[in-house]
Structure 1
Amino acid sequence: MKKRILFWIIFLMMLPISMQAQGESSWWYFGNNAGLNFNDPQKVTSSNGLITSGIPKAVNGPLKSLGGGFTLSDIQGNLLMSSDGITIYNRKNEIMTNGTGLLGSIISMQSGIVIPAPNNPKKFYVVTVSSQENVSHGIRYSVVNIDPSNPNDMGSVEVATKNSLLKMPHCGENLGVVAHKNGTDYWLVNRTGVFFYVWHLTEQGFSKTPKMYKTPPLPDVDKGAQIGATIVSVDNTKLVNLAAGSYTILSADFNPATGVISDIRGLGNTKIYSLGGAFSPKGEYFYLGAGNESVESGYKIKYSDLRAGNVMPTALDAKVFNFSLGRDGRVYGITRTISSGAADGNRDLHVVMDPDKGGTDIRTFPGYLTNRPQRGFPSFKHSNIITENKTKLFTCEGYEAKFDINLITNGIIVPTGLFWDFGDGTYEMQNFIAGKYDYEMNHLFANSGLYKVSVMPYIGTKGLSKTFLEANIIDCSLKTNPMIRHELLNINELETNK
C-alpha cells in the first residue's frame, strides 16, 4: 500500500500542477486600515470565555474606505493587490503603477471587485462602481497585468483600458461575480433600479450589451434602493440583492451556464435597512446585517423562507452591521457605530461558527481588529471549495487520529479525490463522491507530537489549494486508561474550544 501511495505522490509531482481559486480570499482589507489574514489562524478567547481556534489574524491594511473594496490573493494565499475603488495597492501595500484615479467610490457598498481574465493567468479585470452621490462615473473596468508566480512583480494598470465604460450613467452600488459553468468565463452582475444587468466575460473581454432581467416593483427605487450588496452563493446558483432603502430583500435563481436570472422574488416590508450579508456555505441560510448605525442585532433567514416570502428574518444575538463568508466556511461580522456625529465603528469581530446550522453559535471578540472597520467587507469571487475542520483536538499515542472535514464545492469544478499529507512522511488518497459533504480519514502516528496535516482536493493531476489541520498526539499512559483519557480530553476541550 505504501509503495502505491508513493507512486501517486511522485506522479503528481512530475506533472504540471495548476491550482484553482481557493486562496483568493486569504487577505481581507477594509474600513480604516483594518484587515484579516486567514493564512495565520489564531487561538482567541471570545467574550463568553470560549477559546476558539482558527480565527484569522488581525492586521493593518492600506485602505481607508467607508464602503467596500476588494482584496485579491494568489492561489496559495499570497497577497496580490487591494483597492477601495479609487486606488489600487500592490503586494507591498504600496500604490500600484498607474493605480490611482479609478472611478469607483469609497462610500459605495461594493465599490470594486476583481475578476481573473479567462485563459490568461497574468491578467485581471478590476471593475468599479460609482456612488449615488456621483452617478456620472457609472460602472467601469481597468485591466491589471501581474504575474502571480513572480513575487517581484508588483503589477501595473494598463493605460489603454483604464476606466473603460460598461454602463452609464446611473447604477446601483453593487457588483457580483459568478463563475461560468465552463470553468473559464465569468458573469458580472449589477442591479440598478428594477433591472438586473448581466455581462459575459470571455477571453475577448466583456460583452458589449448586457442581458437585462426585471425585478418586482421596489419602493424608493431611485434613491435608497440603489445601495445594498449583491451576493452569490458558493454553488453559483442563488443570488441575493439587498435593496436597503426599499426595505426589501431580492432573491433569484442564477444559471451559471447561460447567465440567466430567473424567478426573481422580493421579500418586502422587512423594516431592516440592510446593506450587506452572506450565504452560508451550503446556501441554506442567509445572514444580513442591520445597516443602521444604531443597529441592535444582525439577522438570519432560511433561504427557503426567503423564497417563500412569508417569514421575516430573525434577530441574532450579535450586534452586526455587515456579514461576509470566509474561506474557512465561517461567516464574519463587523459592527459600525456613531460617535460624536462621526462614523468610527468599533473594533469587535463577530464569528458565526455554524452558519449552515442557523447561527446557534456566534462568538464575539471585543476589540480584536487593529483598526475600525466602517461599513463594508471586501468583495470576492468566492472560492470554489470551502472546507470546515471538525477534527478532534487530541489523540492518545497508540490510537488512530480521526480527521473529519466538511467539503463544499460549487458544482463547476468537481474534485476527483483528496490527497492527505499527515506531516509524518506518510500520505493517503481518498476518492471524492459527488454530493457528499462529510469526509473522514483515520491515521496512526508512530510517535507523540504536534503534526501539521494537510488535505488537498485534486482533479486528475491538477492540485487545488490545501486545507491545514493539526494532530496533537500525546502520551496518555501515565494519566489514566488511554481510551478514557482520549475521550475526556476531547470532550472537555471541545466544550470550550470548538
Structure 2
Amino acid sequence: MRQSFGLYLKAKLLLVLLLVCSAFAKAQLESSQWFFGNRAGIDFRSGAPVSAADSAMNTGEGCATLSDADGNLLFYTDGSTIYNRNNEVMLNGSGLKGNSSSTSSAVVVPLPDSDTRFYVFTVDTDDLVYTRAEGMHYSIVDMALDNGKGAVELNSKNTTVLARTSEKLTAVENATDTGYWIITQFEDRFYSYELTASGLHPQPVISQADPFIELVTVPITNVDVAAMRGYIKVNSTGDRLAAAHFSNNITADFDNVTSILEARSIAYAQGGELYLYDFDNATGEVSNPIPLLTRIDEGSYYGIEFSPDGRYLYAEIDYQRASRSSIFVFIGGEIAQFDLTASDVAASKQTIHQDNNLPFRGAMQLGIDGNIYHSRLDQTALSVLSNPNDDSVPVNYSFNGFNLASGTRSFYGLPIFVQSFFQQFEIKATDGCEDQEIGFTLDTTTEDFQVVWNFDDPDSRASNTSNEISPIHIYNTAGTYEVTASIQTLFQQITSSKTIQIFPQVEINPVEPSLIECDLGFATANFDLTVIKNSVSSIADQTVEIYASEQEALEQANAIDTTIPFNSSSTTLFIRVDNENCFKLITVDLIVERCSIEVFNLITPNNDGRNDVLNVTGLRTVYPDYTISIFNRYGRLVWEGGPESEDWDGSSNQINSKKLLPSATYFYTIELNDPTVKNISGYLYLSY
C-alpha cells in the first residue's frame, strides 16, 4: 500500500503543480467554513476569517462542519439535524442520535477511497438524567444523492457503535494513511474505532487509563451530566491526546443532599480533571496518563486545543464556588498553556490570560489561519488566542476579539474536525545571493507526506522544481521570487508559499592564488597584504578584509591589520569581500621559500664593529645544516665552519688555530645541504 501510495502522490502532485496556484499559505480547506451557536458562522477561505450569517442552525454546544478541498460547503450538523449547502435540512438528515447540548455532538469523517461518502459520528447527552443518553452512533452521508446536495443513507442511519459513552469525540488519521481513528471516552476507558475504505471496524481498541470519571447515580436530576462534559483532542500528527473533564464528582459527594439547587451547585463547582496522554495512531492505544490539573486545583476544564506545531496545549479553566442560592458563583477564569516538550509538563503551566468578565466554559478550536478561537456563552464575538506557537511573538488572548455577524451569537460550542486537517507546513528559507546555494525545508511535525517545490525561477529549467523534502536551489539572477510547496498527504492537499529576495553578488577581480616571500629565518617571512587586498576589488561599496581562518572570516572576527607587514610561515589566508547584502570568501596561499643567500665579500677584522666577520644574510636561521669552506689563492683550505662555529673573522682553523691570515683574496664555497637550492661559491677580500 505504501509503495502504491507514494506513486499516487507523485502523480497527483505533478498534476497539482500544473493546475494549482495559491496566493497564500493555507491548510486544506475542508475546515475553512464554520457554523456554530445561534446561526453564527466564519469563512476562512480568503486566508483571513470573515464572519458569516448563513447558518440555519441553533446549537448550544456540539457541532461539525465540512467543506470540500476547495472550501465549498458540503454540510453541517448539531448532531441531531444535518443541513446541506443550501442551509436546508438534508434529505433523511433529521433525527440523528446526537444532541446539541453534547460537548462534541458530532464529527464528520471522510470514507477513505470515496469522493462522496462521509461518516457522521454522534454522541448523545441528556441534561436531566445522563443514563438516558443513547451513546455513540454513525450515519453515512452520500453527497451524490439529491442532485449533489447529499442525503443520509437510510440503511446506515443511527447505526449503534457504543451503547454508553461521554460527550467526548474526536478523530485523526491513522499511521498508515489508510484511514482514521475515531475516539471517545467513558469512565477510565478510551475507545478507538478505525475507519478504513472497507468501513468502520466494529471492535474498538480499548485503553484503560486514569482518571476514573464516575457516572454519578443519585435520584436528583442534572447532577450526573457535568462529569460527562469536556473535550478530547488529538494533536494533528496523532501522537498526543488531551482530555478535559468539567467535573469529577462521586456519588458520595451528594450524601444527605436533598436540594436540587445545592446538588447542582456541588456538581458544577468541585473541580475536574485535565490529563495528557500518548496516542499511538498505528494501534489506536492511549497510554501514559499525565495529570496536568486535577480536582485539588479546584478548576473546571472544558475547552482544550493544541498549538498548530503541536508543542503546546491550551486549556480554558473556570473557577467556581458552590452556592445555596444559585447553581454556582463564578470567581474567575484563565487560559493556561502547557509546554509538551518540558520534562515536567504539568510544571510548565503558564497563565496566558485571566478575567472574570463571564464564565470561560467554551470550546477552543484551531483555525486554518493559525489562531485558536474561544467561544464564551451568549456573545456577539469570539475571543482569539493569537500566536499560539509561542515562537518569536508572544501569545496574546483577545477577549471577544473577533466580531460575529449581526444577529448571530456564540454559545458553548465550536465545530470540531478531523484533527489531521490542521497539519501545518511552513516553508523555512532565508534571503540569499546570486550563485549561492539556498536551502529550503518545511517546518512541520508531520512525517508522512510528499512535496513538489516550485522555485519561481523558470530560467533554471529542470532545476526549477524538486520533489526532495529539503532541496537546495541556486538563483543566478537577483530579484524577488515566490517559492511554493505543494504538499500532499493521502487525504489532504496543502499549498505553502514564501517570498524570498535574491541580492546581487559581490564582484571579485582575478587574483594571484599565492604570495611568495623569502625566508627571513625560522621559516617565516614578511608579507605585504595590501597588494592582494587592493587587487581583489575596485568597487567603492565593497569591503575587503583578510582573516587567518575560515571561521574567523565567517564570523568577521579578528581581521588582519594590512597596514603593517604580516609575518607568517607558509599558510592559507581567507579574503572576505562584502557588499550590502552578500559576501564571498576566496583564499590566498602565503608561501615562504628558501631563497638564494647574499654574501658580503669584504672582511676587515679590526674591531671597529663593521665587517669584522664574514656576513652571510639569513644563513644561520634559514639553512641550519650549512658548511662554509674558505681557501687561499693556492687552493688550500684555511678555514671551515658551520652552524656550531663562530663566524669567520680572518683567522685559520686549519693551518694554525686562530692565527690571523694575511690580507689577500680568498675563495669560498657554501654547501647549503638543501636539494632545492644550489650551493654557492665566490671570492672575498680580507683586509686589515
TM-score by length of 2: 0.55
> 2:83 touches 2:90 (CA, 8 Å); kept in 1?
yes
Match for residue 43 of structure 2 among 34, 37, 41: 37
Partner of residue 415, structure 2: 378
RMSD: 4.3
CA distance in 2, matches of 1:404, 1:58: 35
Match of 2:617 in 1: none
Residue by residue, what CA displacement relative to the aligned partner does 1:269-324 show, whole Å, maximum 9, x if unpaired? Answer: 3433121111112322101122567654311111245x846527322136664322
What SS class does the counterpart of residue 345 from structure 1 fall into?
A: coil
Post-superposition offset of 1:259: 1.3
Helix, strand or coil: the match of 2:247? helix
Q: Structure 1 residues 145, 318: closer, same or farther in 2, change over 3 A? A: farther
Q: Which residue number corresponds to residue 466 of structure 1?
A: 495
Q: Deviations over 1:384-439 (max 9, x none)?
A: 631347899xx9xx9x9x9988542533x322x33337599999424443xx7xx9
With over 3 angstroms needed to count, the CA separation of the structure-2 counterparts of 1:24 and 1:355, relative to structure 1, is same
Task: Give the C-alpha shift of residue 347 in structure 1.
Answer: 0.7
Return closer, same or farther for 1:219/1:236 CA change in 2, 3 Å cut-off.
Answer: closer
Deviates more, 1:218-227 or 1:421-430: 421-430
CA shift for structure 1 position 136: 3.0
Task: Sort the Cα spacing of 1:418 and 1:191 in 2 relative to 1 into closer, same or farther, 3 A.
Answer: same
Matched, 1:334 2:371: no
Residue of structure 2 equivalent to 1:361: 395
* 1:182 aligned counterpart, secondary structure: coil
Matched residue, 1:109:
103
Superposed, which structure 2 residues align to 1:406-421 within 5 Å? Answer: 407-411=443-447, 413-415=448-450, 417-420=451-454
- How many pairs are equivalent? 435
One-letter identity of the residue aligned with 2:290: R
| Residue of structure 1 equivalent to 2:524 | none
**Which sections of structure 2, spanning at least 5 residues, go unmatched?**
1-9, 21-25, 217-223, 249-271, 320-329, 503-540, 542-578, 582-688
Structure 1 77/270 Cα, relative in aligned 2: closer, same or farther at 3 Å?
farther
Q: Structure 2 vs 1, CA of residues 459 and 243 (structure 1 numbering), >3 Å: closer, same or farther?
A: closer
The partner residue of 1:167 within 162, 165, 174 is 162
Retained in 1: the 8 A contact 2:17–2:486?
no
CA contact (8 A) 1:385 1:407 kept: no
Confirm or deny: 8 A CA contact 1:419 1:458 kept in the other structure: no
**Contact residue 424 and residue 445 of structure 1 kept, 8 A:** no
| Counterparts in 2 of 1:295 and 1:81: CA distance versus 1, 3 Å | farther
Superposed CA offset, 1:58-80 (max 9, x none): 22242321112111111222221
For the pair shown, the structure with the greater C-alpha radius of gyration is 2
Q: 1:323 corresponds to which letter in structure 2?
A: M
Greater length-normalized contact order (CA 8 Å, ≥ 6 residues apart):
1
Q: TM-score, normalised by structure 1?
A: 0.74
Q: Distance in 1 between matches of 2:173 and 2:414?
A: 20
Amino acid at match of 2:38: N
**Letter of the 2:423 counterpart:** I
Tell me, in whole angstroms, the C-alpha distance in 2 between the residues paired with 1:360 and 1:235: 24
Q: Is the partner of 2:494 in helix, strand or coil?
A: coil
CA distance in 1, matches of 2:347, 2:96: 41
- Aligned-partner Cα distance in 2 for 1:71–1:238: 24
Asked if 1:455 corresponds to 2:485, the answer is yes
CA contact (8 A) 1:75 1:465 kept: no
Unaligned runs of 5+ in 1: 1-7, 42-54, 337-342, 474-480, 487-498
Alignment match, 1:52: none
In structure 2, the CA distance between the partners of 1:178 and 1:227, relative to structure 1 (3 Å rule), is: same
Aligned to 1:261: 286
> Which of 462-471 and 88-97 deviates more?
462-471
Matches within 5 A, 1:123-202: 123-133=117-127, 135-147=132-144, 153-168=148-163, 170-202=164-196
In structure 2, how many angstroms separate the alpha carbons of the residues matched to 1:472 and 1:29? 40
